[in-house]
């Protein structure tokens, strides 16, 4: 069964005490560029974006997978520092999170990358999270 890593990471962020709630200001998938005006100023997006090739594990009966997700944080036009703090807090919530059945969840960046303003003049940051797990064969 395929694991929805982006949804799992979104749940970790929602439970992280950051004021993020799935469906309100925490979304799965790419930013809603066509609907930027309806997206809250302070919001977060989690998008599954690739990963490493599956590796045989324990003689090929199981598979070790590492899935990559991009996390994007957006803040209000006048709230650069608050947005930067939220992005860093989101990174801290996910890095080395203890979340079974994941073997390892990590961020390989020192801090979120600032990417300027979006089409609605809101600041945004991004970082990449890798989540590894073992998947049993059929």
Structural domain boundaries of the chain? 5-136
pTM of the model: 0.90
Query: Distances from the Cα of 85 to the Cαs of 1, 19, 75, 91, 127, in angstroms?
Result: 36, 13, 10, 10, 13
pLDDT at 60: 66
Q: H/E element holding 126?
A: strand 123-136
The dotted CATH code for 5-136 is 3.30.2000.10
pLDDT at 76: 87
pLDDT at 27: 93
pLDDT at 123: 94
pLDDT at 52: 85
Strands 123-136 and 102-107, by their bridges, are: antiparallel
Sites in the chain below the pLDDT cut of 50: 34
pLDDT at 37: 62
pLDDT at 48: 93
């Amino acid at each position: 069964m395929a694991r929805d890593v982006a949804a799992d990471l979104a749940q970790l962020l929602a439970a992280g005490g950051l004021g993020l709630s799935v469906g309100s200001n925490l979304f799965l998938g790419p930013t809603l560029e066509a609907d930027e005006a309806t997206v809250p100023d302070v919001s977060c997006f989690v998008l599954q974006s690739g990963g490493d090739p599956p590796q045989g594990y324990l003689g090929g009966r199981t598979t070790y997978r590492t899935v990559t997700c991009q996390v994007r944080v957006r803040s209000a036009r006048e709230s650069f520092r608050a947005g930067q703090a939220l992005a860093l807090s989101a990174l801290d919530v996910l890095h080395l999170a203890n979340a079974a059945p994941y073997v390892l969840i990590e961020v390989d960046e020192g801090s979120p990358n600032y990417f300027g303003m979006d089409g609605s003049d809101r600041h945004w940051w991004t970082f990449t999270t890798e989540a590894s797990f073992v998947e049993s064969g059929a």
